[in-house]
Amino acid sequence: MPVTDPYSMYYVAILCPPAIESKVQQYKLWMRDRYGCTVALKSPAHLTLIAPFWLVNTSEQLLIERLQSTQTDQLPVEIQLQGFSHFSNRVLFITVKENHPLDRLCKEVGDHFIQPFPGIIKPDDRPFHPHITIANRDIKPGDFNEAWQHFAKEELEENFQTNTLSLLKLTEGKWTVLAEKQY
């Protein structure tokens, strides 16, 4: 009988609607086909509100209940995507235009989840920088400049509105939606 891991990995995010998901998927596939980047393909197109964290599996229902009890007046929120950028030479992403309601939503959601999971879900010391990743961690430094030259010239402008928070779980090497809350 196989032994199951007592912990799983989770994160909380805003998922992109299908039309934008499809477009982002094409960028991710382009990176895979040219540079072998596959890490970003494991997750749907999203804006992370709570970064991935490990949690004991026996607390999963509490995590789902926490999502369902989240209260906010920041949703629905309008998201504007414009162009591409990067974090050093490790991450290529689609840029999200400055958005104060989204900033407040991230803080509210983070505060709501930190309270029942102290030490597991921690406040992020870095400023909130919403983005949609198209390549991360597995892009080789030698490939980064060439890939960035391509995306620096690429034009992208998309808008979408969302009223949904999603809880994702890493299952068999792929992030899947475990629960959602609509407002």
Q: What is the pLDDT of residues 100-120, one digit of tens each?
A: 999 999 999 999 999 999 899
What pLDDT does residue 165 have? 98
In Å, how far are 25, 84, 136 from 37, measured between CA atoms?
A: 12, 17, 8
Tell me the C-alpha distance between 17 and 7, whole Å.
Answer: 30
Mean pLDDT within 166-176:
97
Give the length of the chain.
Answer: 183
Which residues constitute the domain of residue 131? 7-182
**CATH number of the CATH domain containing 12:** 3.90.1140.10
Question: Is there a domain that residue 147 lies in?
Answer: yes
What pLDDT does residue 4 have? 65
Question: Is there a domain that residue 1 lies in?
Answer: no
| Locus of tokens 């010391």 | 125
What pLDDT does residue 5 have? 76
The residues, any chain, with a CB within 8 Å of residue 153's CB and separated by 6 or more, are none
Question: Is there a domain that residue 120 lies in?
Answer: yes
Question: Is there a domain that residue 163 lies in?
Answer: yes
Mean pLDDT over each residue of the chain, to the nearest integer: 95
Tell me the C-alpha distance between 42 and 93, whole Å.
Answer: 15
How many domains does the chain fold into? 1
Contact between 137 and 90 (Cβ < 8 Å):
yes
The pLDDT tens digits of the residues spanning 124-161 come to 888 999 999 999 999 998 999 999 999 999 999 999 99
Mean pLDDT within 70-74:
95
Question: Is there a domain that residue 2 lies in?
Answer: no
Q: What angle do CA 43, 116, 124 make, to 5 degrees?
A: 55
Question: Is there a domain that residue 100 lies in?
Answer: yes
Question: Is there a domain that residue 160 lies in?
Answer: yes
- Look at residue 1 and tell me whether its pLDDT is greater than 50: no
pTM of the model: 0.94
